[in-house]
């Protein structure tokens, strides 16, 4: 803390100069801002002569902080009447040795934030990160401090020399962009200097590790000629890949002399299952953050509103002379048609090469082949799909490293800057992200505000922070607690980031797989849900109409409620007025914030289809409009299964009365506040509360909280089951000898699909008699779950 006696005027020279520490690597924005304010307060004493930057490995954070500090040195962010702050910068580095990395991984220093890439044990990666840091310090005129244990012997000194040499090579490659050799050598001679090196805590101990070759290798696409690489390329972003890290299209486009990042928005092209409703809010926020990130590297995101994005793209290619366009494939029914149209238009009329990439799924689902029948699970269910992926494709590719992305962006910055100076490149016109015809609120109710309060900022950094927080607070307990809506970290909170693409599924997958402290049993459900996500896209590829047409075609004849009764039930469900608190809590949370946890989505879907007997398509449409993570493939797969017409019928019924998802009642209290004063035992069944309790708490059912939309759940579900059986009896051609449904695949083959026991009919149309199932498998499963539960409880006690 700086006392008032230390607040000196700029002319004071009688006080000793001091050096202060600065940490730009705090994970949260709030802590980062506090740290900046603390430093500013110290600088305003005008007694600070040097700022020591603490060691950390977030290259993007380091870059922005160095820019901020150098601006302070030149008073670009100070008051008009205040002189510049007179201080030098000294940046800390660790020598990337096996021993030091192992020590930091086992027992990290307090306040030192090291990324998983640096701690992975791959010395090539750690070395690349340090080289990038040295480059940044050199560019900003900073001294270098080598942190303890420092340089202890000749081998360490050789490592220091090698790192500086690597830094100079990287800088020379960047600086040479767009210059002939003579001009480059003149500039190099004028600039050539080495950082002042400060070594902290020199000791005498040897380390046998030596860094290897640069791992930063992304080869150009074989579709693009060398001459085309010397021309400008367009990098087209979509609504699902709004990130720079682990973006294959960016990696390939970066080989060009210059690139133009582009986002084209056509409201007319969204149609029923595109970007509409709540997802527009988070997408716009993500685009604003992407734009800012690009600007920090001297690039621009060119945004345009358009009616026809294909013609707009063709026009833009002609305008800037681009002969190559890069994009990531979206993998939906509409996007396939749109991408095909764009590709044909660009190649035939403009002679433009299109490079299509894949960055939104773990696997290429279009190349996946599944055998019909039962193979460790029925066709199209998770386990056969998972085994097929592993067999046909192997493990998912590892995500690119953050420092590699940073290096790509810095290289592009140099290329574009040189091209602009030489007048061989200029930016085309575009509009600001906020001017896109997206998430435009026309009424008086600012329904976007609660969504932004919950999800903003939608950025890569925010996604990474959320993932890291979940890995420490939620993943160790996920196997046991994942269905709980009343616990903060029971789920990862990454669904919106995965949908918009501010994080890649590969990064999330390997965060779980690399969790050395957790057993395979503790992480399997979490990482399998990423494969389950791919499965949804495989199903959508196989059944393009599945978002509103039953995959089991004969289920289209299922009887649902209709007319005024359907409207009455559906409206009560939409607005959280069904009289069943756990359902109402979920639906209210959904409408206000655009999100609810998976277990609550399932109980809401089960309630609508099983008890209210409303067609699943109605629920699918509402979820798509109100979810910030509205994913038409995942959404449709869930709703088809809830409506019994999907590949994997739900083999369970979720009671809206038991509410095991909210055993504490805290979730319901938050979203149904009119019942918050009820005891835990009756908060999910207020109609069972004693009359005296209701009167005491001022609760009048039918007035302060609605009566149940349907009262006899058993009767409603019996009707639901009978309607399915009636439909199946009239469709015996889709029934095999064991009572399972048969479906026809696009290639004409027929396959059996999982069918719940209560719907299995014999050839006479009678329900098969239920046989007693083997208890061995269930017993083994229960034993495994018990082990996980015990392990989870031990972790809880250490929380």
Whether residue 561 sits in one domain with residue 531:
no
Q: How many C-beta atoms lie closer than 10 Å to residue 541's C-beta?
A: 18
Gap between the Cα atoms of 198 and 50, Å rounded = 13
Whether residue 462 sits in one domain with residue 416:
no
Whether residue 690 sits in one domain with residue 561:
yes
Compute the C-alpha angle 532/538/539, nearest 5°: 90
Whether residue 561 sits in one domain with residue 529:
no
Whether residue 563 sits in one domain with residue 534:
no
Do the Cβ atoms of 322 and 260 come closer than 8 Å? Answer: yes
Domain finish residue from 759, 775, 790:
759
**Whats the size of the chain, residue-wise?**
799
Whether residue 178 sits in one domain with residue 53:
yes
Helix (H, G, I), strand (E, B) or coil at 519: coil
Q: Per-residue pLDDT tens for 433-490?
A: 999 999 999 888 899 999 999 999 999 999 999 999 999 999 999 999 999 999 999 9
**Which domain does 562 fall in, by range?**
553-759
Token duo for residue 417: 């800057």
Compute the C-alpha angle 285/291/294, nearest 5°: 145
Whether residue 239 sits in one domain with residue 297:
yes
CATH number where 577 lies = 1.10.579.10
- Supply the pLDDT for residue 641: 98
The structural domain count of the chain equals: 4
- Supply the pLDDT for residue 107: 83
287's CB contacts (< 8 A; 6+ apart) are 237, 242, 263, 301, 303, 433, 436
- Supply the pLDDT for residue 179: 46
Residue 748 belongs to some domain of the structure:
yes
Q: What is the 3-state composition of the chain as percent helix, strand, coil, each rounded to the nearest 5? A: 50, 10, 40
CATH number where 322 lies = 3.40.50.620
User: DSSP string covering 689-733, please?
Assistant: S-HHHHHHTT--BTTTBPPPS-S-HHHHHHHHHHHHHHHHHTTGG
Gap between the Cα atoms of 538 and 519, Å rounded = 29
Q: How many C-beta atoms lie closer than 10 Å to residue 100's C-beta?
A: 17
Token duo for residue 249: 């299209």
In 3D space, the residue among 428, 464, 48 whose CA is nearest the CA of residue 260 turns out to be 428
Gap between the Cα atoms of 244 and 223, Å rounded = 22
Residue 349, CA atoms < 13 Å, CB-side half-sphere: 13
Q: How many C-beta atoms lie closer than 10 Å to residue 737's C-beta?
A: 7
Residue 349 belongs to some domain of the structure:
yes
Whether residue 727 sits in one domain with residue 677:
yes
Domain finish residue from 542, 570, 593:
542
Token duo for residue 610: 């099983």
472's CB contacts (< 8 A; 6+ apart) are none
Separation of CA 778 from chain center:
35
CATH number where 468 lies = 1.25.40.80
Whether residue 497 sits in one domain with residue 609:
no
- Supply the pLDDT for residue 209: 32
- Supply the pLDDT for residue 122: 87
Whether residue 696 sits in one domain with residue 673:
yes
- Cβ burial of 327 (10 Å; 0-12, 13-18, 19+) is buried
Helix residue spans in 93-151 (DSSP H): 98-106, 116-119, 123-139
Residue 434 belongs to some domain of the structure:
no
Helix (H, G, I), strand (E, B) or coil at 760: coil
Gap between the Cα atoms of 464 and 457, Å rounded = 12
Residue 149: is the preceding peptide bond cis (ω within 30°)? yes
In 3D space, the residue among 462, 469, 499, 434 whose CA is nearest the CA of residue 60 turns out to be 462
User: DSSP string covering 258-317, please?
Assistant: EEEEEEEE-GGGTTTTSS-THHHHHHHHHHHHHHHHHHTTT---EEEE-S-HHHHHHHHH
Helix residue spans in 147-243 (DSSP H): 154-175, 181-191, 226-229
Torsion of CA 340, 344, 350, 356, to 10 degrees: 40
In 3D space, the residue among 133, 209, 200 whose CA is nearest the CA of residue 166 turns out to be 133
In 3D space, the residue among 5, 383, 418, 349 whose CA is nearest the CA of residue 175 turns out to be 418
Sign, CA dihedral 23-24-27-29, equals positive
Helix axes 632-642, 520-542, angle to 10 degrees: 100
Residue 790 belongs to some domain of the structure:
no
- Supply the pLDDT for residue 109: 84
Question: Which whole-number Å values give the CA distances from 685 to 591, 671, 703, in the listed order?
Answer: 23, 15, 16
Sign, CA dihedral 113-487-362-528, equals positive
Residue 704 belongs to some domain of the structure:
yes
Gap between the Cα atoms of 293 and 459, Å rounded = 9
Sign, CA dihedral 141-300-236-492, equals positive
How many helices (H) does the chain have, and how many strands (E)? 29, 12
Question: Where is the binding site, in residues?
Answer: 478, 491-495, 526, 629-631
Question: Where is the binding site for FAD, in residues?
Answer: 478, 491-495, 526, 629-631
Residue 58 belongs to some domain of the structure:
yes
- Supply the pLDDT for residue 110: 85
Do the Cβ atoms of 257 and 230 come closer than 8 Å? Answer: yes
Residue 431 belongs to some domain of the structure:
no
Task: Please give, one letter per residue, the 3-state secondary structure of 343-385.
Answer: HHHHHHHHCCEEEEECCCCCCCHHHCCCCCCECCCECCCHHHH
User: DSSP string covering 429-457, please?
Assistant: P-B-GGGSSSS---SS--THHHHHHHH--
Sheet with 232-237: strands ordered across = 302-305, 258-265, 232-237, 324-328, 353-357
Token duo for residue 666: 């805290």
Whether residue 485 sits in one domain with residue 345:
no
Domain finish residue from 488, 511, 542:
542
Helix (H, G, I), strand (E, B) or coil at 70: helix
Residue 22 belongs to some domain of the structure:
yes
Gap between the Cα atoms of 492 and 469, Å rounded = 9
Whether residue 534 sits in one domain with residue 567:
no
Residue 457: is the preceding peptide bond cis (ω within 30°)? yes
Residues of the chain predicted below pLDDT 50:
1-12, 178-194, 201-216, 772-776
Gap between the Cα atoms of 59 and 245, Å rounded = 12
């Amino acid at each position: 803390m700086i006392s008032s006696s230390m607040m000196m005027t700029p002319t004071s020279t009688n006080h000793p100069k001091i050096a202060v520490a600065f940490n730009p690597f705090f994970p949260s924005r709030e802590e980062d801002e506090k740290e900046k304010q603390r430093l500013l307060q110290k600088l305003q004493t005008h007694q600070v002569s040097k700022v020591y930057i603490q060691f950390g490995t977030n290259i993007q954070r380091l870059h922005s902080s160095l820019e901020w500090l150098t601006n302070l040195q030149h008073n670009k962010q100070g008051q008009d009447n205040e002189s510049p702050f007179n201080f030098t910068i000294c940046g800390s580095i660790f020598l990337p040795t096996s021993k030091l990395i192992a020590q930091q991984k086992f027992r990290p220093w307090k306040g030192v934030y090291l990324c998983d890439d640096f701690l992975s044990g791959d010395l090539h990666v750690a070395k690349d990160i340090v080289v990038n840091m040295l480059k940044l310090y050199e560019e900003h005129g900073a001294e270098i401090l080598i942190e303890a244990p420092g340089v202890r012997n000749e081998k360490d000194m050789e490592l220091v020399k090698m790192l500086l040499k690597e830094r100079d090579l990287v800088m020379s490659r960047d600086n040479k962009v767009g210059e002939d050799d003579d001009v480059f050598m003149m500039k190099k001679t004028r600039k050539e200097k080495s950082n002042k090196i400060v070594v902290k805590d020199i000791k005498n101990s040897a380390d046998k590790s030596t860094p290897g070759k640069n791992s930063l290798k992304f080869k150009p696409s074989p579709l693009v000629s060398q001459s085309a690489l010397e021309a400008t390329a367009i990098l087209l972003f979509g609504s699902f890949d709004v990130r720079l890290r682990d973006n294959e299209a960016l990696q390939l486009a970066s080989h060009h002399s210059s690139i133009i990042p582009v986002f084209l928005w056509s409201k007319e092209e969204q149609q029923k299952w595109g970007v509409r409703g709540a997802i527009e809010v988070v997408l716009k926020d993500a685009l604003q953050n992407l734009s800012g990130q690009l600007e920090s590297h001297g690039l621009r995101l060119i945004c345009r509103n358009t009616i026809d994005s294909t013609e707009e793209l063709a026009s833009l290619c002609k305008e800037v002379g681009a002969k190559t366009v890069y994009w990531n494939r979206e993998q939906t029914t509409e996007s396939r048609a749109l991408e095909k149209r764009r590709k044909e238009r660009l190649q035939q009329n403009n002679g433009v090469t299109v490079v299509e990439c894949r960055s939104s799924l773990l696997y290429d689902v279009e190349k996946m082949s599944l055998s019909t029948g039962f193979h460790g699970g029925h066709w199209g269910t998770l386990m056969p799909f998972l085994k097929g992926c592993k067999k046909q494709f192997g493990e998912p590719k590892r995500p690119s490293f953050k420092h590699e992305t940073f290096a790509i962006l810095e290289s592009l910055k140099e290329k574009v800057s040189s091209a602009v100076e030489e007048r061989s490149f200029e930016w085309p016109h575009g509009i600001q992200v906020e001017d896109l015809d997206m998430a435009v609120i026309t009424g008086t109710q600012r329904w976007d505000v609660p969504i932004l309060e919950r999800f903003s900022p939608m950025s890569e950094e925010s996604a990474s922070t959320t993932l890291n927080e979940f890995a420490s607070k939620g993943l160790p307990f996920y196997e046991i607690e994942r269905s709980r809506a009343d616990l903060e970290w029971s789920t990862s909170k990454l669904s919106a980031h995965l949908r918009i693409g501010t994080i890649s599924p590969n990064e999330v997958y390997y965060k779980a797989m690399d969790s050395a402290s957790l057993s395979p049993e503790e992480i399997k459900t979490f990482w399998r849900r990423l494969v389950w996500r791919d499965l949804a896209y495989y199903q959508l590829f196989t059944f393009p109409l599945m978002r509103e047409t039953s995959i089991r075609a004969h289920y289209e004849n299922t009887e649902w409620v209709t007319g005024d009764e359907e409207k009455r039930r559906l409206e009560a469900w939409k607005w959280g007025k069904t009289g069943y608190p756990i359902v109402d809590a979920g639906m209210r949370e959904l409408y206000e914030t655009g999100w609810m946890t998976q277990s609550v989505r399932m109980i809401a879907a089960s309630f609508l289809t099983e008890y209210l007997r409303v067609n699943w398509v109605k629920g699918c449409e509402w979820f798509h409009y109100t979810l910030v993570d509205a994913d038409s493939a995942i959404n449709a797969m869930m709703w088809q299964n809830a409506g019994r017409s999907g590949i994997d019928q739900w083999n369970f019924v979720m009671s809206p009365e038991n509410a095991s998802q909210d055993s504490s009642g805290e979730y319901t209290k938050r979203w149904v506040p009119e019942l918050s004063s009820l005891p835990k035992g009756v908060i999910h069944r207020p109609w069972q509360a004693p009359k005296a309790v209701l009167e005491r708490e001022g609760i009048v059912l039918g007035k302060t909280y609605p009566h149940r939309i349907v009262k006899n759940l058993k009767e409603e579900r019996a009707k639901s089951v009978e309607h399915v059986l009636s439909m199946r009896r009239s469709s015996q051609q889709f029934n095999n000898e064991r009572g399972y449904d048969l479906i026809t695949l696009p290639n004409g083959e027929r396959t059996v699909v999982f069918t719940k026991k209560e719907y299995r009919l014999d050839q006479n149309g009678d329900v098969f008699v239920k046989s007693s199932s083997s208890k061995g498998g269930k017993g083994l499963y229960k034993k495994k779950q018990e082990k996980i539960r015990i392990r989870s409880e031990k972790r809880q006690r250490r929380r």
